[in-house]
A and B are shown apart, each in its own frame.
Chain A
Amino acid sequence: MATLSERMPAALARRTAAEYGIWSWLTTVDHKRIGIMYLVSATIFFIFGGTEAFLMRLQLMRPENHIVSFQLFNQLFTMHGITMIFLAVMPLLIGYINVVMPLQIGARDVAYPRLNAVSLWLFFAGGLMLYSSWFLGGAPNAGWYNYAPINTGGVLNPGSDTLGISFYVLGLQIAGIGTLLSGINFTATILNLRAPGMSLMRMPLFVWTVLITSILIVFAFPPFTANLGLLMFDRLFNTGFFDPSKGGNALLWQQLFWIFGHPEVYILIMPAFGMISEVVPTFSRKPLFGYTTMVFAIIVIAFLAFMVWSHHMFTTGMGAVVNSVFAATSMAIAVPTGVKIFNWIATMWGGRIRYTTSMLFAIGFLFCFVIGGMSGVMLAAAPADYQFNDSYFLVAHIHYVLIGGSLFALFAGTYYWFPKMTGRLLSERLGKLNFWIVLIGFNVTFFPMHFLGIDGMPRRVATYPPGLGLSFWNFVSTIGVFILTAGILIFLYNLRDSLRNGEIAGPDPWDARTLEWSIPSPAPEYNFAQIPLVRGRDALWVEKQHGDGRMLPAQIVEQHGDHDADDHDAHQHHADRHLVHMPSPTPLPLILGAGAMVAGYAGLYRVWWLAILALVACFYGIFRLMYDRDPGYYVEPKGDVG
């Protein structure tokens, strides 16, 4: 690379040396590095959330236990829910979207690389802020959906530090804006940056799910932003949107929350569907069965996602007419979901199934997600839900779809894509141990919760009396958590060990089908030395079947944005020597994230001058990001396509 810089105009040579220091990570705009930072920080938050769950299960192991106080228990289940949904599973999915999606469409990066870094740092700032609440008077304590009017605090939430829920409001607001920007970024990327030949109906199904997820994010997050804004006014400036004693409406929060919250759970499962749709065909050595139907199924699910929110509110007194409508629309979701399940099975049918760890998790997903889907249909039957709602039956349901669904798919995806990120395979021996222990631990923990629900145990209770017959299955459930924890620890050990000692993967360890496997592992910073030409669905598989197994380069002159005179020489160079134009690293997104966090804290502690100063700094960062011209820099690809 040093020789390259000698041949380059000085102004453009500044970033040619590969940098791997901490500063290079903090300022990177590379989608793969941003993805990896999402994955690492979300894994850390996942460990926090898991620890909170572990403490709760210890408390519930026996009736009338006093390992934690009521107040602490309430903070634990609140932070567990917030963490797993907003700080673990969603960023894990966004991490894989970042790493994989641009590679699968044959792009050099996402559409807005710097915006991508802004998303990351806003997520990180929000998460950090939420967790700092533990040390600043107490965590939020009203559940992850934080119902009104207890969320307005004061006398309605006795014994709690008044700041706890303000951390929820501002932390999730900051992280949520990051997610919204990701949704916009991914949509623009998929619609604009696909390699030549990749029509929408040739996109890998994972990319389809990312597109639909991004559209869900763009439509679902604004009501949440508005809801948090109203609550912020209630808490910081004593308005009364949600407090009936001030003329507000307690159910308004619930309506706005679930208009966001139900699409949110599909945001958590859609990319998981996409991952399963990549893993199952690869290891069955067959194309995905019914591709077109699969695409339509996710579009239908996304459409229905906005028409079912009130099924979370069957017991709020909406009446038989409204309950019937929402029961019917909720049941309708089972139809496209069922189609997907059967199409995955049909993909395996007649194939030649290789039982890698990734495939095992995909099959585990099929079994567990079906159970979660079925309890979902039972919950949709409104009069039955009068009994199920807010009981442990519901706790079982959400964990079957979020762990048995999203998390199992994330495991499958991790074993599948780890080599593309690191160049090394995860240990299959540890992987299989990881799979079986997690599968057993998960089911032993959560299946008994169905029984606890019909035995009459409400969710979110810090304890229960011995006379209700709840003791046995609670004990079993806690034993399950020990097993599940062991399985997760094996996985974490596997990650760490394989990073150093794992088998070298090579570009295509699975004999896979999509574009990311046509380039070296780990993927070079420019992804594709030359943009590939896509000649069919499963682009790489098409070349394996009908070509020489290598992607053909698309014969196009690479398009650059408006470039001024300074860049002219460089473009001449580029044409001669086949250089790749890359965006420069920048600390501005990091500064923006930090500014948002400072503004959040200043608002919490009512230091208004600091809040204004921090917001000014944020806007300065935004304008710099908007109007600074980035000349970028050039790298010379090491090899040719393939």
Chain B
Amino acid sequence: MGRWARRRTWLVTPALMLAALALGACAQHPQATFSPAGPVSRRELGLMSFSLWLMIGVFVAVCIPLVYAMIRFRERKGDQGLPPQIEGNHRIEVVWTVVPILICIALAIPTIHDAFVLASPPAGSSPLVVDVVGHQWWWEFQYPGQSIVTADEMHIPAGRPIELKLTSVDVLHSFWVPALAGKEDTVPGVVNTMWLQASVPGTYPGQCAEFCGTSHSLMRFDVVAQSPAQFQAWVTGMQHPDVTPTTAEAQAGAQLFSQYQCGICHTIDGTAAKGTVGPNLTNLGERAIVVGGSLQNTPTDLAQWIHDPQAIMPDTIMPAFSTLTDQQLSELTAYLEGLKPQA
């Protein structure tokens, strides 16, 4: 393992070179494939780098004779007659048939090895199972072992393999968190599996990678990796959420929530709202992002969303509540922003 890891280090070098180029304007790249934060993406990067090395070698092997021939054998003034009319050379043709075969074998071996390694979580580990459901255009995360449902942000414990069971309720989507793992499609009527693991706590952005309709571009999410203790605390908090409005404004908001029948589509655990068409809102108040990251989770942004969702996410099925007054909107958002897992 150690030797392999060391080998991986030099394999990663060209990827880092590319990364330096890719930096361009020295920006941050939170969604990049070349700064892996877990064993799955690290292994994938190793293979990407290895294939890149091989291909750089091939490119050089093509370019040297090509450029040489272009210069050396150009037509010059005063050239007379024809060059020797050579039609082929079996020996050299065998060479450039066999060498590519060897290169392909060299690449096929780690490819097949990694395909099997990445097919399932390491034997003997006890992965956490998360069901991932793609919707037009947001992500739902269900924790069947914990009886938790959330959206937009997938909480996971760092250092533990996570086994994802992926499906979709409408069209194809593809689950992609480049820093943690390559993608896997969500297919309606089918449950696909993949696994990933975050080595250290952190927030890793992800995005739908399969075209899924009008607002495909906005179908983003975050993976929030926490220390095992923090994750356990979050699970416990989610199982006993704090959904009772405390202020007068929030109580008025809760009134509006039921008056406008938001519960037909949304669930808030511990209340009468049990809809499953839209995202579960039980812990809305603690999320950093909402609407797939198109909005920051501020009362203003949330009010804007409720007032006119089409302006933010064209063709979303979330209806517009344009008749709500500013007063009512701020009451409603006060209620929603107060929904949190128990501290």
Binding site for B on A (CB under 8 A): 69-71, 74, 142-143, 147-150, 155-160, 244-245, 249-251, 284-293, 315-317, 319-320, 323-324, 327-328, 331-332, 334-335, 338-339, 341-343, 345-346, 348-355, 363, 366-367, 370-371, 374-375, 377-378, 380-391, 450-451, 453-465, 467-469, 471-473, 476, 545
Residue pair B33, A454 in contact (C-beta under 8 Å): yes
Contacts of B192 in A (CB 8 A): 316-317
Complex Cα distance A468/B58, Å? 32
Q: Known contacts being A315-B174, A455-B22, A461-B216, is A291 close to B88, with CB within 8 Å? A: yes
Residue pair A389, B100 in contact (C-beta under 8 Å): no
Complex Cα distance A340/B291, Å? 51
A543 to chain B, nearest CB (A): 14
Chain A proximity mask over B26-59: 1 for CB below 8 Å, otherwise 0: 0111111110000001011101100110110011
Is the C-beta of B172 less than 8 angstroms from some C-beta in chain A? yes
Stretch from B60-68, B146-154, B248-256 forming part of the interface with A = B60-68
A455 to chain B, nearest CB (A): 5
User: A290-B89, A454-B19, A457-B31 provided; 14 other pairs, C-beta below 8 A?
Assistant: A70-B315, A147-B210, A149-B172, A150-B171, A155-B170, A317-B185, A327-B111, A346-B92, A351-B83, A352-B74, A367-B63, A381-B47, A384-B51, A456-B176
- Identify which of residues 70-106 in chain B touch chain A, using a CB-to-CB cut-off of 8 Å: 70, 73-75, 79, 82-89, 92-93, 96-97, 100-101, 103-104
Residue pair A287, B171 in contact (C-beta under 8 Å): no
Q: Known contacts being A345-B69, A469-B27, is A374 close to B58, with CB within 8 Å? A: yes
Residue pair A335, B171 in contact (C-beta under 8 Å): no
Chain A proximity mask over B209-221: 1 for CB below 8 Å, otherwise 0: 1111111110010
Complex Cα distance A135/B181, Å? 43
Our pick among B66, B69, B108, B171 for the contact of A331 (Cβ within 8 Å) is: B108
Q: Nearest A residue to B55 by beta-carbon distance? A: A374
B288 to chain A, nearest CB (A): 13
Residue pair A328, B22 in contact (C-beta under 8 Å): no
Contacts of B176 in A (CB 8 A): 390, 456, 458
Residue pair A332, B115 in contact (C-beta under 8 Å): no
Q: List 23 A-B contacts (CB under 8 A).
A: A158-B214, A251-B190, A286-B83, A286-B84, A289-B86, A290-B88, A317-B185, A319-B119, A339-B100, A348-B69, A350-B86, A381-B51, A381-B111, A383-B43, A384-B44, A384-B51, A386-B44, A390-B174, A455-B31, A456-B176, A458-B174, A468-B29, A471-B27
Residue pair A383, B114 in contact (C-beta under 8 Å): yes
Q: Known contacts being A250-B188, A390-B174, is A349 close to B47, with CB within 8 Å? A: no
Residue pair A285, B100 in contact (C-beta under 8 Å): no
Q: Nearest B residue to A71 by beta-carbon distance? A: B214
A373 to chain B, nearest CB (A): 9
Name the residue among B58, B59, B88 with the largest chain A CB count within 10 angstroms: B88
Residue pair A385, B73 in contact (C-beta under 8 Å): no
| A-B CB proximity, top 3 nearest | A386-B182, A456-B31, A244-B189
Residue pair A74, B44 in contact (C-beta under 8 Å): no
Complex Cα distance A468/B206, Å? 11
Contacts of A159 in B (CB 8 A): 213-214, 314-315
Q: Known contacts being A70-B214, A383-B114, is A245 close to B188, with CB within 8 Å? A: yes
Residue pair B209, A352 in contact (C-beta under 8 Å): no
Contacts of B51 in A (CB 8 A): 377-378, 381, 384
Residue pair B48, A284 in contact (C-beta under 8 Å): no
Residue pair B48, A350 in contact (C-beta under 8 Å): no
Our pick among B83, B89, B172, B193 for the contact of A147 (Cβ within 8 Å) is: B172
Chain A proximity mask over B161-195: 1 for CB below 8 Å, otherwise 0: 00000100011101010100111110111101100
A601 to chain B, nearest CB (A): 26
Complex Cα distance A384/B220, Å? 22
Contacts of B75 in A (CB 8 A): 352-355
B293 to chain A, nearest CB (A): 7
Q: Known contacts being A74-B214, A245-B188, A386-B181, is A451 close to B22, with CB within 8 Å? A: yes
Q: Nearest A residue to B193 by beta-carbon distance? A: A317
Is the C-beta of B226 less than 8 angstroms from some C-beta in chain A? no
Complex Cα distance A148/B190, Å? 13
Complex Cα distance A593/B108, Å? 48
Contacts of A345 in B (CB 8 A): 62, 65-66, 69
Complex Cα distance A338/B95, Å? 11
Residue pair B182, A315 in contact (C-beta under 8 Å): yes
Is the C-beta of B205 less than 8 angstroms from some C-beta in chain A? yes
Residue pair B217, A377 in contact (C-beta under 8 Å): no
Contacts of A471 in B (CB 8 A): 25, 27
Q: Nearest A residue to B80 by beta-carbon distance? A: A352
Chain A proximity mask over B286-326: 1 for CB below 8 Å, otherwise 0: 00000001000000000000000000001101000000000
Residue pair B32, A455 in contact (C-beta under 8 Å): yes
Contacts of B45 in A (CB 8 A): 387
Complex Cα distance A330/B69, Å? 30
Our pick among B23, B54, B189 for the contact of A249 (Cβ within 8 Å) is: B189
Contacts of A244 in B (CB 8 A): 188-190
Q: Nearest A residue to B175 by beta-carbon distance? A: A315
Contacts of B28 in A (CB 8 A): 467, 469
A386 to chain B, nearest CB (A): 2
Is the C-beta of B18 less than 8 angstroms from some C-beta in chain A? yes
Q: Nearest A residue to B212 by beta-carbon distance? A: A150
Q: Known contacts being A158-B315, A381-B111, is A458 close to B209, with CB within 8 Å? A: yes
Complex Cα distance A334/B103, Å? 10
Residue pair B187, A384 in contact (C-beta under 8 Å): no
Residue pair A250, B189 in contact (C-beta under 8 Å): yes
Is the C-beta of B21 less than 8 angstroms from some C-beta in chain A? yes
Contacts of B220 in A (CB 8 A): 465
Residue pair A286, B85 in contact (C-beta under 8 Å): yes
Complex Cα distance A453/B33, Å? 8
Q: Nearest B residue to A393 by beta-carbon distance? A: B33
Q: Nearest A residue to B192 by beta-carbon distance? A: A317
Contacts of B30 in A (CB 8 A): 467-469
Is the C-beta of B124 less than 8 angstroms from some C-beta in chain A? no
Residue pair A341, B62 in contact (C-beta under 8 Å): yes
Residue pair B211, A158 in contact (C-beta under 8 Å): no
Q: Known contacts being A387-B178, A455-B29, is A464 close to B217, with CB within 8 Å? A: yes
Complex Cα distance A486/B155, Å? 50
Complex Cα distance A341/B31, Å? 36
Contacts of A468 in B (CB 8 A): 29-31, 205
Residue pair A378, B24 in contact (C-beta under 8 Å): no
B202 to chain A, nearest CB (A): 15
Contacts of B100 in A (CB 8 A): 334-335, 338-339
Is the C-beta of B333 less than 8 angstroms from some C-beta in chain A? no
Our pick among A324, A341, A463 for the contact of B116 (Cβ within 8 Å) is: A324
Is the C-beta of B283 less than 8 angstroms from some C-beta in chain A? no
Complex Cα distance A345/B73, Å? 11
B193 to chain A, nearest CB (A): 7
Complex Cα distance A370/B100, Å? 13
Complex Cα distance A472/B172, Å? 30
Complex Cα distance A149/B181, Å? 26
Is the C-beta of B265 less than 8 angstroms from some C-beta in chain A? no
Q: Known contacts being A320-B115, A355-B74, is A350 close to B83, with CB within 8 Å? A: yes
Complex Cα distance A305/B33, Å? 30
Residue pair A472, B25 in contact (C-beta under 8 Å): yes
Contacts of B101 in A (CB 8 A): 335
Is the C-beta of B112 less than 8 angstroms from some C-beta in chain A? yes
B53 to chain A, nearest CB (A): 11
Complex Cα distance A293/B96, Å? 11
Complex Cα distance A381/B27, Å? 29
A292 to chain B, nearest CB (A): 7
A265 to chain B, nearest CB (A): 19
Name the residue among A71, A160, A377, A453 with the largest chain B CB count within 10 angstroms: A377
Our pick among A292, A370, A458 for the contact of B88 (Cβ within 8 Å) is: A292
Complex Cα distance A349/B84, Å? 10
Residue pair A331, B107 in contact (C-beta under 8 Å): yes
Residue pair A284, B73 in contact (C-beta under 8 Å): yes
A509 to chain B, nearest CB (A): 16
Contacts of A341 in B (CB 8 A): 62
B317 to chain A, nearest CB (A): 7
